[in-house]
Structure 1
């Protein structure tokens, strides 16, 4: 049985209706929360994270270059890119027989930049 410490519960049970109503208006609905959780799961794999940061640095790379940059077999890179492309995190373009990958948009770049900054900040505290 898990014991609950006083820090994890309200000492006096009294909800503040105005704060609760405002909070409910501004938090994601269940369906959106499911989408957000799926997005964060994509960032839960170190290989995918390194691939994303490689694309952030280089702008655009083919599978061969990504594989060499992140030191992961091409098949694993291709698999990761398929997941990331399906989720709308990366895009590709074909140039003859070559396919080049890049981050989908500025939002992905911002998320990666902020995540790394947060991690570095947390590590220095």
Structure 2
């Protein structure tokens, strides 16, 4: 599908000025907060990592072996997921002798937003309809 040029003949809202659109384009591309937000979404977009954040929120803190047991994956796989979450400061680590415990980093605004979503979802039993054709019935 090719991109068509928008002009006065085919634009739904032809009264948009070129200056307004140019300003919005510049603003959207210059907003570094959006770049950071995309990185957070990228880290949390993996189902296993999102589930890890959820169980860390519910448990308070867990070690790698606990997470490996919960998700039935290897400890190296858990460590790789935690590394990505740590790089984005979504989880924090605490060492106790030989064991490192992980928890959700509540200093991170994106992590706080996820925790709030988890809490609201638990209360409201949030569900997503992944098949939009079902909603027509």
TM-score range, shorter-chain basis?
0.7 to 0.9
Structure with greater helix percent: 1
Match of 2:114 among 79, 98, 111: 111
2-structure distance, mates of 1:28, 1:91: 31
Shift of 1:113: 3.8
Aligned residues: 121
Indicate the residue corresponding to 1:34 in structure 2.
35
TM-score (norm 1): 0.73
2-structure distance, mates of 1:28, 1:56: 34
CA deviations on 1:8-51 (whole Å, 9 max, x unpaired) are x742311279x97xx79x97943221111111001121111111
Indicate the residue corresponding to 2:62 in structure 1.
61
Indicate the residue corresponding to 1:120 in structure 2.
126
2:76 is the counterpart of 1:75: yes
2-structure distance, mates of 1:58, 1:98: 16
With over 3 angstroms needed to count, the CA separation of the structure-2 counterparts of 1:72 and 1:113, relative to structure 1, is: farther
- What RMSD over aligned residues (CA atoms) do the two structures have, in Å? 3.6
Range that drifts further, 78-87 or 99-108: 99-108
User: Structure 1 stretches of 5 or more lacking a match?
Assistant: none
User: Structure 2 stretches of 5 or more lacking a match?
Assistant: 5-9, 130-134
